[in-house]
Structure 1
Amino acid sequence: MRNPLTYITTFFLLALMGISGCTKTIHPPPAKPREPAVSHPPALTPQVSRPEPATQRQYSVMGQTYTPMSTHEGYAEEGVASWYGPKFHGQRTSNGEIFNMYEKTAAHKLLPMNTIVRVTNLDNGKEIDLRINDRGPFVGNRIIDLSFAAAREIDMIGPGTARVRVEALGAVPKEELTGIFYVQVGSFSSKENATKLKQKMQSKGYKESRLQEFFRDDQKLWRVQAGTFTNVLAAEKAHDTLLEEIPGAFIIAD
């Protein structure tokens, strides 16, 4: 028969071994974090913005700001018409043409240039179709300013104004807008620099490029104009090409 003391000793030894095992629990090392996948966005193609034509840009007159319409479609309005003539005859219109009071044209604050409009005199029923080539009128509640010839045709020369309906009919095809056109590519206080640019335009094939002398605040300046072009469509093609090199270039009519 075994000694009871032996059983007690054995029991305590096993208990101590169990406690020791519990305090030495080994945890596996943490897994190495995975590196996030890096996505490379596609290269962006730079967008080259072309400047708006000068006649489509926002402008201000006598503290009032106007934003020209991008299209003539759907335009119709009734209001007061006026006319202009001798005081402005021979001056440049907003689209660069020379104003001729004997041609059937008109000024409008918002319609795109070269829009064809039908103007009906509501007092007598007479009507006329006109082309917009200028900005205005900027007086009171007037909605359109007719050339002398146009106003005479609908009998509003005497009164000076008339109640009218103005309706947009369409736009003149660019190839039909014939005349002498240039693309203005610069303005300089140095005639030497202006001459260099003119010669550069001539070397590009614009053989009839020219300098135009003018004054601003009593300072003599020179405009450089590449040309010539016999219709608006040809001028616009050259304009598109020249814009790549000269962002501020714009078309004028002689």
Structure 2
Amino acid sequence: MGLVAQTRQQMGKYQLQSLWILGLCVLLAACSAPQKSPSGKGKAPHNPNDGRYAHDKDFGPDADVDLSHVPDAVPRYEVRTRAGNKNPYTVLGKTYHLIEDETSYKERGYASWYGKKFNGYHTSNGEVYDMYAMTGAHKTLPIPSYVRVKNLDNGKSVVVRINDRGPFHQGRIIDLSYAAAQRIGIHKTGTGRVEVEIALPHDAAPIPMRANNTKATQIESALPPGTYLQIGAFSQKKSAQQFAASIGTKITYPLTINSAQSPKEIHRVRIGPFTNAKSLQDARDQLARIKIYEAHVVYQ
């Protein structure tokens, strides 16, 4: 046999061996791959929030911010509609039933908080979540409700307004806004032992939930004199003036700049004053439409 013929024969053997090895690798890979169940069993329960948020993990403000000036939520009468009050409802394969009479509600467990991942997105009742407001999420209390949350380790407490559902983690009974978590000292640890107790306006029974979707008239409860929404703070007055001018034509409420020189120069841009809760919420809605979510209540 000539040299060329021998070379071709050897190359043919190598090609057959290579094809045989390649086929074996494909077969082994197919056998080791996880098999899907035709019945769908074994799949994780559907999470309605999958892919909804811009961030995978939650986190707080980019820099430390002192929120000790943010006042507690003030319990008041509010008409309850079906917004946020679907009963029962199911999340992650578990069904929850709302508390029928929350007037004696009191519970101990662990609190957590949620922050920037959810900031600016809608809560369960359609409001816009504000991590700097005194709000919270609860699995079974009617929306809205007001509760006093006490840190059992340091005695600090805060009153928040429940306007969202959660937390859906084992052992946790309430999710607090970042501002509320800072107030009771759990914003750095992430969780803490708390006692949660219903807070009623003037110790009276709350208005019952509406049985249909009829639009309810909002009760215009009065706010303390000098109630404002603060939407920005600047070290330079010119910056505050430019910011105020940029949004002044986009909202229907007056803008003011509150300046102070001590202990350091600061210029706060505020909207108001507001005399009732309805107008304050309307201002929040207007701000949300122009992508301003970090507004908090102040008094001057």
Q: TM-score, normalised by structure 1?
A: 0.48
Larger radius of gyration: 1
Q: TM-score, normalised by structure 2?
A: 0.41
